Amino acid sequence: MKFRSTILVAIIIAGATYTTTFASMASGSVVIGNKAVSLEYANMEVNATEMTAAVAAGGSIYVKDFEGIWIDNITGKAVDVSVIPDVVYKSANKKINYNARDIEQLSTTPVVDDVTINTTKLTAKQIINKYGNAVVYVEVSDKDHNVTVSGSGFIVKSTGVLVTNFHVIKGSSYATVTLQNGSKYDVKSVLNYNEKQDIAILQLSNATNLTTVNLGNSDTVEVGDNVTAIGSPGGYMNTLSKGIISGINRENDRGKDIQTTASITHGSSGGPLFNRYGNVIGINYSGFESAGDIGFVIPINEINSLLNTTNEKTLIQINGQ
């Protein structure tokens, strides 16, 4: 039998006065009337007047339960996200316009202006059909143009800006990428990188109008979420693997990782991990050979600072060859 966690909302009606009290909630987000606020914001006493007015004006209260389902907290019944109105998410320092169905974006993480967040659930087949050509096979070569390593990557800008792992390009002098449709591009330069974080941002030569992925928000990832990985393990381009998020904040020398049951093996490094909406929430980079269902992923939010700054160099300059 399946049990749904109850989220307490007490509404005391006294004339035109409404008082709301919210119990602990996994997502930390709630829609009151036509406003979405953090759980902490809603429960702060200093915001009581605002919350009372919002409830009085809007009437309906919606919350996202522990299973990620929006429910009407008056009736306790699940509701389709399409009935939830356009909302404003409030935090201590900013006010950002969202649509309530963008549930993965109800957080304090800044939103990249030119990124569109998907809000419709996609199957693994739909994800690879839509974004397969944005996931690339990467081959790196030494100074004599001998191929030494292969890996994966994904395009984040139509002008040929590509994300992969630093360890994929480490020690190389040249690199090329191949798209699912067979198109090939040389890597012109490394726009930015962080060896410790194991992230590299590459620029392709003569690239225009390329298919791109959508970047999600890794701060909202929860254990049990369905995910899809795409990469080139063993050189097999655009191999698809399904799984779930099996852990978060796994600490190691690199930083804090996302753990997944999706298969991540040699050649998968640098490929994207998609959530169920087709938004990339991580960079696949490591796995246990002895345990095929334990893979590690770099949270996608770690690339924000690298995308917003430039430290352009050639592979030869970086690797000293």
- Active-site residue list: 167, 198, 269
SS3 assignment, position 259: strand
208 CA to centre of own chain: 24
Do residues 32 and 84 touch, judged by C-beta distance below 8 A? Answer: no
Pairing of strands 135-141, 147-157: antiparallel
Which among 245, 145, 164 is positioned nearest to 203, based on CA atoms?
A: 164
Which among 191, 291, 273 is positioned nearest to 226, based on CA atoms?
A: 273
Do residues 314 and 175 touch, judged by C-beta distance below 8 A? Answer: no
Residues 6+ apart with CB under 8 A from 37: 29, 30, 47, 51, 89, 90
Do residues 262 and 227 touch, judged by C-beta distance below 8 A? Answer: yes
Extract the runs of DSSP E, i.e. beta strands, from 237-314: 239-251, 256-260, 272-275, 279-288, 291-299
Cα atoms found within 13 Å of the Cα of residue 232, Cβ hemisphere only: 24
Residues 6+ apart with CB under 8 A from 307: 112, 156, 161, 192, 201
Please identify which residue in the block is written with the tokens 């040389």: 186
